[in-house]
Chain A
Amino acid sequence: MTKPDQAIRIAVDRKAFPAVADRPEQLVLRGVQLTVQEGSFVVLTGPSGCGKSTLLNIVAGLDADFQGHVTFSQDDPKLAFMFQTPRLLPWRTVEQNIRLVLGDDDAQAAAKVAAILDRVGLSEAATAFPERLSLGMQRRAALARAFVVEPDILLMDEPFVSLDDPSADSLRALLIELWNRRPTTVLFVTHDRIEAVMLATRLVRLGGTPASIVQDSDVSLSPADRLDREKVLACRLRLFENA
């Protein structure tokens, strides 16, 4: 059982990808124990290919082929997942893409969609098809889609990679704003250490083969400090000193 203020209890004893053809079985995760507090912003980092996405997919319930268990404090919590690619339906407009994740019986759906589009600055592009938009705008739409469902748990897998710096910065600011407005439990995967420090209330590092947790630290920067480049850089040095 989880305590009331614990949103997720993750205990992945063993996760392996079965052998295919001439490739042997690949043991990816071993003994990953992580308890996520309600409303915390947990950033997961680690070397490329160590199993961060695999862990996130397990938590999301997209991958059930592992030993261990993932327990949520709530029955049937509402999830949102922002993937590395936007994964919008290219044959539906931005507006329809966001409308679709709300229930058919949601009377306020239209108002919610309009409000979130306004917040992420996509009102003008509401009726555009996703592939006609820049990657940054598609990511905004994906972010809007994740927040419009008012998730209990928000999972994000490198949602801001391959954007230019200004676009990534403005999306990050948007994420912080949306999160402050409606705090929710977040599991966020990134490679970017500065991004990690800016966003995290807790930083978890995976490492080794098979991967397990090698570092777990609280990040106690104030909201103002997070926007201060000097403070962020100093904090990064402290957190990653033995990385």
Chain B
Amino acid sequence: MALDNQTIRTGRVGRGVIGSVLSGRLVWTLVSFLSLLVLWALVAAILQSRLFPGPLEVGSKFLSEAASGELGYHVGVTLARVAVAFLVAMFIGSAIGIALGRAKGADQFFDTWLIFFLNLPALVTIILCYVWFGLTETAAVLAVTINKIPNVAVTVREGARSLSRDLTEMAHIYRFGAWKTLRHVTLPQLAPFMAAAARGGLALVWKIVLVVELLGRPDGVGRQLYDGFQLFDVSMILAYAIAFILVVQLIEILVLQPIEARVNRWRR
């Protein structure tokens, strides 16, 4: 028997615990993160500049800001703005997307509008909102929301165009009615598109909200970055940047991923 010519398939269970841990994502994340930190420390040590602080300096700034409560406060304020703008934009954007995906006439009519708003620079929306509504909280959140709505609408529209006719007919025969059809037939089909919109949208909102804060708010992470810029306090800028990245990652892992896992539970 020419055993050596055969392909042997080994089950994943057969590879042993150590093998699967070593190939695990966690280890690679850790290795890659630590090497970034080392590289940063090295460059800082070589440059010896006030404008390029090393990880230790930034870390101690981070801790002192956290201890004073400043960091928590500003991150919290930014987070609240992101949450409101994100939810409102998801809701309105999805509604528009579903409507346009279902009604061909409306889609043709509003397509130009959508393209206009998609290509409107975020900075323009922000400035106009502040000019028209004053340097208020509402104007700030509105500016972020308006920036995000067209992106959500376009993504969800794609999903609404590809809704299964088979299932719609089934819902019609069994008299689901509008609400039941939306909840059990339409929205589950749109879920992957809404997840994509949420992801792309969240990344966008995080960035825009900082600019909004920088231009017209007395608090929030964007404002702190601006203050750091004016004082040339690079440690402060980096400390807030790192806090920001941490929060975004935590939300990704603790909120978005579990929701996606739950929504996709039925897939084979």
Interface residues of A (CB under 8 A from B): 60-62, 79-81, 83, 85, 87, 89-92, 100-101, 104, 129, 131-132, 145, 149
Q: Which chain B residues lie closer than 8 Å to A131 at the CB level?
A: 266-268
Whether A62 pairs with B172 at a CB distance below 8 angstroms is: yes
Whether A100 pairs with B174 at a CB distance below 8 angstroms is: yes
Option from A61, A83, A92, A132 in Cβ contact (under 8 Å) with B166: A83
A81 and B170 alpha carbons, distance in the complex (Å): 8
A104 and B183 alpha carbons, distance in the complex (Å): 14
Whether B174 pairs with A149 at a CB distance below 8 angstroms is: yes
- Whether A92 contacts B268 in the complex (CB less than 8 A), given A60-B173, A62-B172, A85-B166, comes out as no
In the complex formed, the residue of B with least CB distance to A104 is B180
Interface assignment of B188: CB less than 8 Å from any CB of chain A: yes
A92 and B176 alpha carbons, distance in the complex (Å): 14
B165 to chain A, nearest CB (A): 10
How many inter-chain residue pairs (CB < 8 Å) link A and B?
47
Q: Which chain B residues lie closer than 8 Å to A89 at the CB level?
A: 167, 184-185, 188
Interface residues of B (CB under 8 A from A): 166-167, 169-170, 172-176, 180, 184-185, 188, 191, 265-268
A81 and B175 alpha carbons, distance in the complex (Å): 12
Q: Which chain B residues lie closer than 8 Å to A62 at the CB level?
A: 169, 172-173
A120 and B99 alpha carbons, distance in the complex (Å): 40
A131 and B234 alpha carbons, distance in the complex (Å): 55
In the complex formed, the residue of B with least CB distance to A101 is B174
15 pairs, A vs B, C-beta closer than 8 Å = A60-B173, A62-B173, A81-B169, A81-B170, A83-B169, A87-B169, A87-B170, A100-B174, A100-B176, A101-B174, A101-B176, A104-B180, A129-B266, A131-B266, A149-B174
Q: Which chain B residues lie closer than 8 Å to A92 at the CB level?
A: 184, 188, 266
A218 and B169 alpha carbons, distance in the complex (Å): 31
A75 and B265 alpha carbons, distance in the complex (Å): 41
A72 and B31 alpha carbons, distance in the complex (Å): 72
In the complex formed, the residue of B with least CB distance to A81 is B173
Whether B188 pairs with A91 at a CB distance below 8 angstroms is: yes
- Whether A90 contacts B266 in the complex (CB less than 8 A), given A83-B166, A85-B166, A100-B184, comes out as yes
Whether A80 pairs with B185 at a CB distance below 8 angstroms is: no
A81 and B188 alpha carbons, distance in the complex (Å): 22
Q: Which of B166, B170, B172, B176 gathers the greatest number of chain A CB atoms within 10 Å? A: B170
List of 8 A-B pairs having minimum Cβ-Cβ separation, nearest first: A101-B174, A129-B266, A91-B188, A91-B266, A81-B173, A87-B170, A131-B268, A87-B166
